[in-house]
Homo-oligomer: A and B are copies of this chain.
Amino acid sequence: MSVPDGLLFTGSSVAAEAATDDLTVLRAMLTAEVAWVRAQERLGLAPAGAGDGVDRAVSLLSGSDNAAWALVVRVAREASGAANPVIPLLARLRAEVAAVAPGALAAVHAGLTSQDVLDTALVLVLRDAAATVSADLTRAAQAAQRLARTHRDDPALAVTLAQAAVPTTLGARIAVWAPGLAAAAGLLDAVGSVLPLAYGGAAGELGAVAALAGGDPFPLVEAWGDELGLPVGPGPWHTTRTPFVRVAGAFAEACAALGHVAGDVLQGTRPGVGELREPAAPGRGTSSAMPHKVNPVLSVLVRRSAIAAPALVAQVLTAAGLAVDARPDGAWHAEWPALQQLARHALVAAAAGAELLEGLHVDPEAARRNLAAALPDADGVGAAPAIVDRVLGALATRASEEGS
């Protein structure tokens, strides 16, 4: 048995894996296929019980993690022959349906094309990932606000262009993290909630779907969206990649907002600074060479993703700009791993960022000492406390408006 790559190097918390791993994607494809049969059944286009029958086949194929994982490996092997994983997956699904629910066989994937299923599966995965990332960003933003409030008046050094600048407060230095985190959360909510069902049939003309539906294809398409809880846009977006461009941008914005925090934390933890310290956890941050050392691994993981994510967005945008015909000849395929990894980076970074900020230790004494050392004659803290108030006030207003 051979195994995939990527886990060792981007893997992190269980939640992050669960939200974007190949197993999740595989199951999302099967979920889309089942829902399509249920939609047909609802409209009387498939025999009663067909949806349940296909669902049973899916359970047999992928209900246990071990079976599902083996299926991932098998499908991945065969995917190169089709340049996409839907086709080999479908072959196995059909074989299973033929065995356990033969009456449903004709309805499986009827009228669909691979892209309908793969894009819809990615939408399901990315929607859930967006919601998780947004929740973690919100936790992080709230923690930043609490810290800013607590340290609103604690004098600290402001550094610009790597040099001592003027006095400010710890609160003002921390307060600027929150709007970026909150904005990224808001964008993910906005973008994630409108990620639409992908449909279009063979070439975006819905020919086979219309034939299946006996005329108007849209009631069936709408029923599919309804089964999956996905909005149905006005037309196919096989080559109009706005939804994926938007969600990719939102994940990258999340990584950037978190990277801003991590960069400041890392500077604050350096020797000779010592103003900030990551929350401890058993075994976390150990070094293979220096047992006494505790590394700021949450910040490191976040910064890693802030460095890695931008290029992944560029991949998605490049692919979007090269979309052509009714299905692109390579640009579509380049989107998949980029989206999967972007979501993964955002998930890991947001989880780490939330934990980092919720447990961040701030040392006002060290800050005061560093300020005095760098600017012995400095006086006051500018308007730093007023800025903290204004930023926190605006975020509170926005949160209460959104909550109402």
Contact = CB atoms under 8 A, between A and B. Distances in A.
Contacts of A336: 8-10
Interface in A260-279: 260, 262-264, 266-267, 269-273
B284 A81 contact: yes
B270 A163 contact: yes
B183 A290 contact: no
B218 A162 contact: no
Q: Chain A's interface: helix, strand, loop or mixed, by majority?
A: helix
Contacts of A140: none
A133 interface: no
A185 to B, nearest CB: 11
B315 A311 contact: yes
A297 B81 CA distance: 7
A226 interface: no
Contact of A158 (B65, B315, B326): B326
A281 to B, nearest CB: 7
Size category, A interface = 35 or more
Contact of A5 (B1, B6, B235, B239): B6
Contact of A313 (B75, B258, B313): B313
A79 B370 CA distance: 31
Contacts of A112: 288-289
B300 A330 contact: yes
Interface in A266-313: 266-267, 269-273, 281, 283-290, 293-297, 299-313
A35 interface: no
Interface in A64-79: 65-66, 68-69, 72-73, 75-77, 79
A325 B18 contact: no
Contact of A290 (B165, B235, B240, B324): B165
A124 B235 CA distance: 36
A331 interface: yes
Interface stretch (A43-51, A52-60, A97-105, A338-346): A338-346
A334 B305 CA distance: 7
Given A242-B180, A317-B252, A325 B162 contact: yes
A7 B313 CA distance: 20
A25 interface: yes
A159 B209 contact: no
Contacts of A234: 179, 390-391, 393-395
A172 B204 contact: yes
A306 B330 contact: yes
A106 interface: no
Interface in A228-245: 233-242, 245
A240 B255 CA distance: 12
A256 B218 contact: no
Interface in A374-404: 374, 380-384, 386-387, 390-391, 393-395
A31 interface: no
Nearest to A4: B7
Interface in A349-389: 352, 370, 373-374, 380-384, 386-387
7 contacts: A10-B337, A114-B289, A165-B327, A166-B205, A203-B382, A239-B260, A304-B334
Closest 7 CB pairs of A and B: A207-B382, A303-B330, A4-B7, A259-B321, A306-B321, A205-B382, A158-B203
